[in-house]
Amino acid sequence: MGKKLILGLMIGMLAIAYGCSKESTGTTAYSLEDLDYPIGSTDVAAGTEVYAEYCEGCHPGGEEGDGPKIAGTGDSPSQLRWKVRSGGDDMPAFGPDKISDADLEALLAYALTIGAVVN
């Protein structure tokens, strides 16, 4: 085997290792299809608390604040789940480490009451 071949193999392996490590540290991408299922909670009280802790600061009472008004927008449950998980321009993403799947469903139960989602 020539030196060039060995060098080429090493560079190839490094590139693969780098690619893998990048993938594992990247943020999780959520798809709307995977988030499309019926709202799994009717616990509005719990959802109000989740909203107060994570959303109220920018969408006070569902109205415009640092973020836009979300009351009455009538998003689908999957859209709202996606928005919370993915964030956006000047909106942080909330992963399951911050808002658990159960808390997210409670949040949707609250969002129903202000028309931010429709079932």
Count of residues interacting with ligand HEC (CB under 6 A): 20
61: exposed, middle or buried (C-beta count within 10 Å: 0-12, 13-18, 19+)? middle
Answer for which of 43, 48, 73, 102 binds ligand HEC (CB under 6 A) is 73
**In whole angstroms, how close is the CB of 33 to ligand HEC at the nearest point?**
18
Task: Name which position in 54, 76, 93, 102 contacts ligand HEC (CB under 6 A).
Answer: 54
Q: Is 83 in the site for ligand HEC (CB under 6 A)?
A: yes
Q: Are the C-beta atoms of 109 and 43 separated by less than 8 Å?
A: yes
Separation between Cα atoms, residue 52 and residue 9, nearest integer Å: 55
35 lies in the binding site for ligand HEC (CB under 6 A):
no
Supply the minimum distance, in Å, between the C-beta of residue 17 and ligand HEC: 34
Return the ∠ at Cα 88 (arms to 98 and 85), rounded to 5°: 35
Comparing CB distances to ligand HEC, the nearer of 24 and 28 is 28
Closest C-alpha among 54, 46, 51 to residue 98: 54
Does 93 participate in binding ligand HEC (rule CB under 6 A)? no
The answer to whether residues 72 and 116 touch, using CB atoms and an 8 Å cutoff, is yes
Token digits for 55?
A: 């959303």
Binding residues for ligand HEC (CB under 6 A): 54-55, 57-59, 66-68, 70, 73, 75, 80, 83-84, 88-92, 94
